Amino acid sequence: MWRLAALVLVLTGVPALAQEQQFARLGDVTLESGEVLRDCRIGYRTVGTLNADRSNVVLFPTWASGTSEQIVSSNLGPGRLVDTTTHYAIVVDALANGVSSSPSNSERQPRMRFPRISIRDMVDTQRRLLTEVLKIEHVKAVVGISMGGMQTFQWMVSHPGFMDLAIPIVGSPRLAPYDLLHWQTQIDAITTDPAWKGGDYQENPARVAGAAFGAILLTTPEHYNRTTRREEVLASLERAKSVAGFDANDKIRQTQAMMALDVSRGVGGSLEKAAAAVKARVLVIVATADHVVTPGPAIEFATLLGAPVVTLDNDCGHLAPGCEPERVNRAVAEFLAR
C-alpha cells in the first residue's frame, strides 16, 4: 500500500541492528520492455555469516515501498522470520523503492522520465547483483513478503535452478482482478490530484487519499473497527496532510510493476506451464482476508506445484503475518531447515 512499513512483522527476540547499506552499480540495464535504465544502482544489506560452501544464503527482496533497512531491523535475527545465526541473509532494495534506482533519485531519468519496470526486472537485477558482484551462483532460499512474495514467484519461474527453496508470503504469481482495480485506483488518485503536475510536483500529492487507501485495504473492517476509535479516524486523515510519505513517482512505478506481473507471460499465459518450470521446493503463505493481494492466484499456483500452503485465517487482512508471527516464523524456520 501507500506505505507498507506497517507490514513489518512483530517478532520476538532482541531487535536486530540494521547492517550497513551497500550499493552495486550495474551500468545501463536493458529492461523487459526494451527500454534502458541508465546507471542502474541496486541497494542491499547482508546479515549473518556466509559458510564455507556458500550453502546458507537466503535472498530477501523488499515489499512495496519497503527498504532493506526495515527488513533487517524487523525480520532478521534469532527468533525472527530468518534466523541469521545460521543463515546468511542478503536483503535487496527493489527497483523504485527510493534506495535502488528510482524516479526519486535518478539523475539521468528523474521522475516520470524513469522507465517502467517489471517484477522480472527487479529479479534480473538482483540476480546480477548476486552473480556479478557477490559471486553467488546459487542460494538456499528466496523469501519475500507482499511485493517481495511476487518477486519470489518470479524468481522460482525465471531462474528455477538458482534456489533450493522458495517462500512467498502474502504474494502472488499474478494479481487477481480485484487487486488490479484497487491498485489502478491508487494511481488515479495521484495523477488526478492538482498537485501532481505530470510528476513534477513540489510536494507529494494525494497524501490523504493514500492514508485512506492504506487504512481501508491493509486490514479488514472488523480489525479496523476493533482497533480504531471513531474520533481517531478523521484526525488521522488530517495528520496525513503533513506527512510526506513514500514518493508518488516511486509509488506509481512499483505499482505498475505489480499490476503487470504474470509469471506465465513467457509460456502463453498458462500457469500450469509456469509451474512445470519450477524446481525449488515451495512453501506458500496466504491470508484469507487479504484485500491487497487476494490469495486466489497464490493458492492456485501452490496447487499446481503440489506445494504446502499455510493459511492465516485472522482478520488482520494483508497484515495477517504480523498478527501471527510465532506461527509464521515457525513454519518458515521448519521449511528452511529442510
Q: 232 in a domain, yes or no?
A: no
Q: What is the CA radius of gyration of the chain?
A: 19
Q: Model confidence over 302-317: pLDDT tens digits?
A: 999 999 999 999 999 9
Q: 215 in a domain, yes or no?
A: no
Q: 112 in a domain, yes or no?
A: yes
**Model's pTM, two decimal places?**
0.94
Cβ–Cβ under 8 Å, residues 46 and 90: yes
Q: Model confidence over 150-171: pLDDT tens digits?
A: 999 999 999 999 999 999 999 9
CATH number at residue 150: 3.40.50.1820
* DSSP class of 180: H
Q: 199 in a domain, yes or no?
A: no
- Say how many CA atoms lie within 13 Å of 114 toward its Cβ: 31
Cβ–Cβ under 8 Å, residues 293 and 179: yes
> Quick one: average pLDDT of 201-221?
94
- Cα–Cα distance between 283 and 16 in angstroms, integer? 25
State what percent of residues in the chain have pLDDT above 90: 92
Q: What's the pLDDT score for residue 18?
A: 53
CA distances from 326 to 54, 80, 194, 264, 284 (A): 28, 9, 45, 33, 16
- Say how many CA atoms lie within 13 Å of 80 toward its Cβ: 26
- Say how many CA atoms lie within 13 Å of 13 toward its Cβ: 21
Name the residue range of residue 129's domain: 4-179+249-336
Using the predicted structure, report yes or no on whether residue 8 has a pLDDT greater than 80: no
Instruction: Tell me which residue has cell 513467457.
Output: 266
